[in-house]
Chains A and B, each alone.
Chain A
């Protein structure tokens, strides 16, 4: 099941038997040129957004009515150079975009991390133990899958964001999130609510995929021999089942980040996700849309990063799929 076991005689992978499994994966991934370029650019974006508070040229939300709607690459009336212009409140777009990248990418990453963890655990339990546990988990999956996800996302997000003070989030946790996202603790609570909502619906696909993988992995002889040697279930799951079911999960996780990123942007765009003044690509685009008739350049500023990220992440997922499981081409 792993990359090492899929070596076919005559395949170039058999050329270097001394390579470790991950070296093979990296070598295969590097063949997918667009994926490599995407990965490099995306990593650069992540680094830039991580440095947001250091490199941002202006305060994040300091409205300035004298400098509203300054076009990109121009100098405003006060002599400041505006790389990406300013928004309807005169806030610097470049500065806000830096912070927004941090919020949007971070939210997508953590929501997907939580969702994938839930999905992998449940899928593993359902697939490995079978019986009534499997039935219970699979039925829950089926029911959750029949819900109209977008509607529920909107409803839950709207409710949680409206009643943000009634969600018990410990202060230290809110402060920790605030540090990660470079926002105030109050904003961090809203971000956390959105992460929760997004992860609540994101796990079903992962669980189904994991269950299928485990069902096929657990029939292998090495599982049987491991059990014969007296290994506990936890050891078998952790040492044998999980690593062998991992490759498709990595691809799933990558594509999941894109789906969550788009979902978060949509929520914020429609006004039910992370709220202004916390910048996200979605809510910046929503404001830009209202002013695009007078200032057609405005929607480009927040939508280009969304476009870039979703295409880049999809290509990375594609590259990873080729690298991790060459038989799944198509």
Chain B
């Protein structure tokens, strides 16, 4: 077990570094990147034309004048932030502030300016005093650049986290409470009418794209219900801005508990339904497999009551593979249901990711991606350990 844990933790460390490299590289190595986007925005806003100082300022802001390996370590662990040990290497060149220009003259007399070498190097001493995060590795994701300008990314995540946690927590819990019994009952009554109905619903439910499902829910429970004069659900957002009147219920005060609850209902139901569709199928399959095992036949042959056979012998064993599904739950809890949150305008982390990506707020995007990968890895580790607990036949090694 100890050897397994050590090996697995090492493996996780490597994957985390790869993920960090990847998420950093993805966003900063592409042509264009943050500078072009920001400068284009400034240019289009028509305030003033961009000059060399603007470009330099933006480059400094994003550390783009620092050479790539150092830029990455500054992002990952916040190092180097100045001369080493306070004084060593103050004049070491670790970046280039202004590229050198070379005049390339063609034989026919025309020329073009080509960037080559460096006219103004960046030294370690000049890095001192520049804003640097303590490093992603230590939980400091830097500051948001667009959505909440200059506020730490962690603040942004902290304000959105409760929304995602409540949404995902409720839907996962409900899905387990409803989906697992459905799966078991379907398996026990295989080929019954209940089984056929449920497998068909689950089949369609799990092939339905969640955004189509969400839009249909809004269409039916908000728009059409309201038009028909029936009680309706508010179509989106977590908190209302205006009071509204619902038939039979009365006026709902914006921001009240009832308002929040009504807005909570639809996204939770959609997510719950999708999860039930997937999980009940899974539980049904694993239960069917267990019901064919010898020990179940033995129990029946011994004359154990069918109810006891199912709850004691079959059920517990059929839930073992279910543990693997829970591996993703941790990451899902955090990452939220991106698409469902978008459809319902739910201000969770999934929406945050979409907003940040759409508005080129790279630090936020990288933070969410990085945290998600780490949580997925932790989820897998927990699953492996849980496996040995629920199924003693499995040994880690």
Contacts and interface: CB of A to CB of B under 8 A. Distances in A.
A156 B23 CA distance: 10
Contacts of B335: 148, 151
Nearest to B339: A266
B283 to A, nearest CB: 13
Given A159-B26, A289-B215, A303-B215, A147 B19 contact: yes
Interface string A168-184: 00000000000000000
Contacts of B288: 330
Interface string A254-272: 0000100010011001111
A306 B23 CA distance: 31
Nearest to A300: B219
Given A151-B335, A265-B209, A285-B211, A270 B354 contact: yes
A155 B369 contact: yes
Interface stretch (B93-101, B258-266, B315-323, B373-381): B373-381
B339 to A, nearest CB: 6
B354 A154 contact: yes
A307 interface: yes
B285 A163 contact: no
A293 B223 contact: yes
B204 A311 contact: yes
A43 B358 CA distance: 36
Given A143-B15, A296-B224, A314-B203, A151 B372 contact: yes
A310 B353 contact: no
B291 interface: no
Contacts of B353: 151, 154
A253 to B, nearest CB: 16
A150 interface: yes
B381 to A, nearest CB: 11
B203 A163 contact: no
Contact of B339 (A147, A156, A159, A270): A270
Contacts of A272: 357-358
Interface of A: 143, 146-148, 150-152, 154-156, 158-159, 162-163, 166, 258, 262, 265-266, 269-272, 285, 289, 292-293, 296, 299-300, 303, 306-307, 310-311, 313-314, 318, 330
Given A146-B373, A151-B372, 12 more contacts: A147-B376, A148-B335, A151-B369, A154-B353, A154-B357, A159-B27, A159-B30, A289-B343, A292-B215, A292-B219, A296-B223, A296-B224
10 contacts: A146-B373, A154-B338, A155-B23, A155-B357, A159-B26, A159-B27, A266-B211, A292-B215, A296-B223, A330-B288
